[in-house]
């Protein structure tokens, strides 16, 4: 395992101190090769799920529970960070099978391999890689911006123009066409007066209409809703009320 791999696994396992984590996130924001390797390591555990399912089906759970000492503390699964703690997986599966809550524990762990993570969570996690330097250089080419928006608009089925996505206090920077679980995902990037990125995302997932919902996840404020078979999300490092108001402005247009 290379030094970079060791650092990336430690990031996935949430074992980095704040300074090392900040430095690595900054590298991930600018290094495409490193981001690809990070994604590969995140998916490392996926092929293991089927094997563990078979193990659980054959395990003598009742006998193992009976063998657990009465004063044996129940070990909780590692904190989630887009996967499970890779270094603790082998020990965790044994301890979990012996614990009184073995079945529920295993189900929650294996669910992390299923690829069914909510798309909003995926966006919020990826936004952690963005810094004020990521979009420091303004993009004044309005025609090019409009063309990028039209590409995204065609795939997500929304009317996206520089005028329809304009927001007070934010500078429209660019638009990107991404994919989540095979579904088109549009990411529209703004920066505020301090250079901090703000994202407006649209996914054509065919979901049912839902009202606006606001929440805070760490230093990020999120505000989301669904309408017309599309999901919408506004996310930024800003007060929750401010992000909710920006979302309401866009909701009135989309």
Q: SS3 for 63-76, per residue?
A: HHHHHCCCCCCCCC
Give percent above pLDDT 90 in the chain: 44
Q: What is the pLDDT of residues 205-228, one digit of tens each?
A: 998 999 999 999 999 999 999 999
Average pLDDT over residues 86-97: 47
pLDDT tens for residues 118-131?
A: 899 999 998 989 88
Pair 39, 28: CB distance under 8 Å:
no
Question: What is the model's pTM?
Answer: 0.55
Contact 152, 172 (CB under 8 A): no
Predicted confidence (pLDDT) at residue 179 exceeds the cutoff of 80:
yes
Domain ranges of the chain: 3-42, 48-111, 119-251
In the chain, what is the straight-line distance between the N-terminal and C-terminal CA atoms, in Å?
Answer: 47
Considering the chain, what percentage of its residues have pLDDT values greater than 70?
A: 69
Predicted confidence (pLDDT) per residue in 134-152, tens digit: 887 776 678 888 999 999 9
> What tokens were used for 150?
């039209």
Q: What pLDDT does residue 81 have?
A: 40
Could you read off the pLDDT of 10-67 as tens digits, one per residue? 888 778 888 888 888 888 878 888 888 887 787 765 444 445 555 555 555 555 555 5
Helix (H) or strand (E) holding 210: strand 210-217
**pLDDT of 188 strictly over 90:** yes
Phi first, then psi: give them for residue 7, nearest 5 degrees: -65, -40
**Nearest CA-CA partner of 3 in 23, 84, 18:** 23
pLDDT band, residue 197 (cuts 50/70/90): very high
pLDDT value of position 34:
87
Q: What's the CA gap between 237 and 217, in Å, rounded?
A: 10
Q: Which CATH class is domain 119-251?
A: alpha beta
For residues 186-204, average pLDDT: 95
pLDDT digits (tens, 9 = 90+) for 242-251: 999 999 999 9
Distance CA 170, CA 182 (A): 30
């Amino acid at each position: 395992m290379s030094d970079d791999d060791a650092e990336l696994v430690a990031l996935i396992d949430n074992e980095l101190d704040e300074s090392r984590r900040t430095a690595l996130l900054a590298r991930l924001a600018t290094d495409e090769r490193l981001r690809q390797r990070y994604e590969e390591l995140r998916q490392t555990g996926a092929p293991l799920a089927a094997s563990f399912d078979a193990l659980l089906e054959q395990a003598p759970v009742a006998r193992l529970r009976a063998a657990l000492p009465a004063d044996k503390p129940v070990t909780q699964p590692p904190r989630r960070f887009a996967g499970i703690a890779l270094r603790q997986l082998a020990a965790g599966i044994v301890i979990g099978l012996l614990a009184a809550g073995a079945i529920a524990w295993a189900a929650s762990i294996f669910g992390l391999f299923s690829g069914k993570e909510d798309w909003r969570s995926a966006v919020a996690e990826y936004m952690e890689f963005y810094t004020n330097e990521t979009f420091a250089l303004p993009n004044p080419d309005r025609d090019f911006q409009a063309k990028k928006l039209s590409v995204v608009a065609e795939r997500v089925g929304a009317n996206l123009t520089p005028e329809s996505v304009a927001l007070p206090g934010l500078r429209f920077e660019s638009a990107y066409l991404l994919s989540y679980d095979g579904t088109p995902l549009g990411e529209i990037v703004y920066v505020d007066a301090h250079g901090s990125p703000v994202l407006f995302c649209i996914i054509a997932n065919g979901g049912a209409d839902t009202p606006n919902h606001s929440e805070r996840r760490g230093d990020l404020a999120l505000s989301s809703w669904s309408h017309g078979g599309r999901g919408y999300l506004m996310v930024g490092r800003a007060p929750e009320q401010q992000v909710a108001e920006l979302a309401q402005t866009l909701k009135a247009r989309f």
